[in-house]
Amino acid sequence: MATTIKQIDDFLALKRIAVVGVSRNPKETSYTLWQELRQRRYDVVPVNPATPEIDGRRSYASVRDIDPPVEGALIMTTAAVAEQVLEECVAAGIHRVWLYGGLGGGATNEATIAAAERHGLDCVAGHCPYMFLPGTPVFHSIHGFGKKLTGSYPKPG
């Protein structure tokens, strides 16, 4: 399942998105990306079963608990946890997901990609949203450029 630019554009066109695995640590990528999306006026809902609140925002234990429901889920857990999250997304009626991919793999591996396919989810697999948000710090563009050089950048589709 090769992710296309259209899938990424469609995901980033959503308004209300769950971010699963948001850390309370401001130095963690999951926290900074959640903040980035907030500042871009996405209605982003944190999901972290370890805490009821992050930065004054209610944090949910599962995507199934979110009300009103979200349109998509950005999954930033480890791959080991992501399979369970995908099942919860299906149970919550979420059909559009993004398996975060960063250094160390993030939520993406062969098993999670296969699980997303098995569930029939529209899945962005293995990329970092920072590369596709306009006007982010230059190193994110360099990351994208590197992916283009290695042929792993998404195709238009």
> How many residues in total does the chain contain?
157
Q: Write the interaction track for other proteins spanning residues 7-46; mark x where CB under 8 A is met and - where it is not.
A: -------------------xx----x--xx-xxxxx----
Can residue 137 be called a binding residue for other proteins (CB under 8 A)?
yes
Q: How far is residue 119 from each of residues 22, 55, 94, 103, 157, measured CA to CA in Å?
A: 24, 33, 11, 26, 21
Quote the CA–CA distance of 33 and 103 in Å, as a whole number: 14
SS3 of residue 125 by DSSP: strand
* Window of 81-89, 98-106, 115-123, 136-144 that interacts with other proteins by CB under 8 A: 136-144
Under the criterion CB under 8 A, does residue 78 sit at the interface with other proteins? Answer: no
Q: Which stretch binds other proteins (CB under 8 A): 68-76, 119-127, 135-143, 144-152?
A: 135-143
Smaller CB separation from other proteins, 38 or 143? 38
From candidates 134, 150, 151, 156, binder to other proteins by CB under 8 A:
134
Strands (E), 10-154: 16-20, 43-47, 53-54, 57-58, 72-75, 96-100, 122-127
Distance CA 3, CA 40 (A): 23
103: contact with other proteins by CB under 8 A: no
Interaction site with other proteins (CB under 8 A): 26-27, 32, 35-36, 38-42, 134-138
